[in-house]
Amino acid sequence: MTRLEIAVAGCGPAGLAAALLLHRDGHRVRLFDRFETPRPVGSGIMLQPTGLAVLRAMGADQAIMAAAARIERLFGRASPSGRMVLDVRYRALGWGAGFGLGLHRAALFDVLKSLADAAGIEFVLGRTITGVTAGPHPRLSFADGGRAGPFDLVVDALGAGSSLAAATAQPLSYGALWANLDWPADANLNVNALEQRYRKASVMVGVLPIGRPTERSAPQASFFWSLRRDRLAAWRETGLEAWKDEARVIWPAAECLLAQVEHPEQLTFARYTHRMLKRPAENGIAHIGDAWRSSSPQLGQGANMALLDAYALAKALREAPSLPDALQGFVRLRQRHARLYQALSAVLTPVYQSDSQVLPFLRDRLVGPLSKVWPAPAIQAAMVSGLVGDPLRPLELTGWRL
């Protein structure tokens, strides 16, 4: 395809990856963001074999792995029984099945931003995007009344609250408090596992090793605590010490992390939504990552989906004879996998984050034991790895496949 004028809205992993891939294919790319200085937003993330395959194709995998913590297992126990409820091991997929990576969001941002700077990609900062005029030559509108364009294509990577996408989000009842904390040297926690504790489905406590955000920093962990949105005010009124006492009862080994939380302001509350656009690409606009679809982070696929979307869009533009054909091709490459994981998230989230009494009862007494029986271990590992639906094959990406 001929050289296109492309605006990428949003400087997160989805936007940076899309900008890099499109720039390398010869398009003129401008990356817009509301921050005066681009910066990462959010807690630690899980990179799966799918997302790592994209980063490998971009030449960013070695830098990412140097900053990340290798995750070989995801497991969780019910409290107070101690019963194993979840136990997922990547090795269940067979030899060479890969692994996950626990990563500080800042580390992923820094690696992609450095590549973008080295490539000479143009950043337009301090511009809050409020809308887009769709059509053959879309233009961006900003909060200050200004406009930019015309472009041949606008890539929406603004996340779940995108101002360029239809407001179809359904807020989920549960969100999570989270904090990135130092990994204590004497921690009685698994440095190669995402570990969780559950009290019914109303409380989920988790610890994810996330490596080092910078070369000089100490190893860190993301600590999170699920909480209903409408109970946030009550949590604040109850006080930090009362909450820490509750957390110690559920998971005594987490004390080494709880001791680092001295002020409520250290904990950020993340709100989650479930949404999926019916038309992720048309009229000169392509929505990628959470701008296309968002869900609970229960399956840990957010950043990986965004990277796959960015790669699929670049591939479709490279191979299609026209822009409309490319946008249709992009949707074909990603829609089945995206729909599949939206459905899985909708089904599984209430099992771990809800007010249900029945679901956690069945989970603790049936799902846990059955998950040890073939072929359940391989199915669970494939689901967590993001490999269900075989997303790498249509993208012709190298990596472990089912």
Residue 215 has pLDDT above 80, yes or no: no
Sheet holding 73-78, edge to edge: 84-89, 73-78, 193-199, 203-211, 220-228, 174-182, 268-270
List all residues 6 or more positions away from 228 whose beta carbon is below 8 Å from its beta carbon.
173, 174, 175, 202, 355
Residue 193 has pLDDT above 80, yes or no: yes
Give the pLDDT of residue 398: 83
Residue 1 has pLDDT above 80, yes or no: no
Mean pLDDT of the chain: 93
> To which H or E segment does residue 244 belong?
helix 240-250
Which CATH topology does 5-169+273-395 take?
A: FAD/NAD(P)-binding domain (3.50.50)
- Confidence band, pLDDT 50/70/90 cuts, at residue 159: very high
Runs of H (alpha helix) within 282-396: 302-319, 323-352, 358-362, 368-370, 376-385, 392-395
- Across 129-150, average pLDDT: 94
Give the pLDDT of residue 167: 81
Give the pLDDT of residue 213: 81
Give the pLDDT of residue 39: 65
Residue 99 has pLDDT above 90, yes or no: yes
% of the chain surpassing 90 pLDDT: 83
Give the pLDDT of residue 37: 76
Give the pLDDT of residue 186: 84
Residue 96 has pLDDT above 80, yes or no: no
- Across 196-223, average pLDDT: 92
Rounded to whole angstroms, the Cα distance separating 112 from 125 reads 17
- Across 294-306, average pLDDT: 92
List all residues 6 or more positions away from 132 whose beta carbon is below 8 Å from its beta carbon.
9, 138, 139, 140, 141, 154, 156, 164, 285
- Across 359-367, average pLDDT: 88
Q: Tokens for 191, please give them.
A: 């440095």
Q: Tell me the β-bridge partners of 224.
A: 178, 206
- Confidence band, pLDDT 50/70/90 cuts, at residue 214: confident
Rounded to whole angstroms, the Cα distance separating 305 from 108 reads 14
Backbone angles phi, psi at 195, to 5 degrees: -115, 140
- Across 28-36, average pLDDT: 94
| Residue tagged 């830098």 (tokens) | 63
Rounded to whole angstroms, the Cα distance separating 161 from 186 reads 40
Domain boundaries, the chain: 5-169+273-395
Residue 93 has pLDDT above 70, yes or no: yes
Give the pLDDT of residue 168: 81
Burial of 334 (0-12, 13-18, 19+ CB in 10 A): buried
- Residue range 249-275, pLDDT digits in tens: 999 999 999 999 999 999 999 999 999
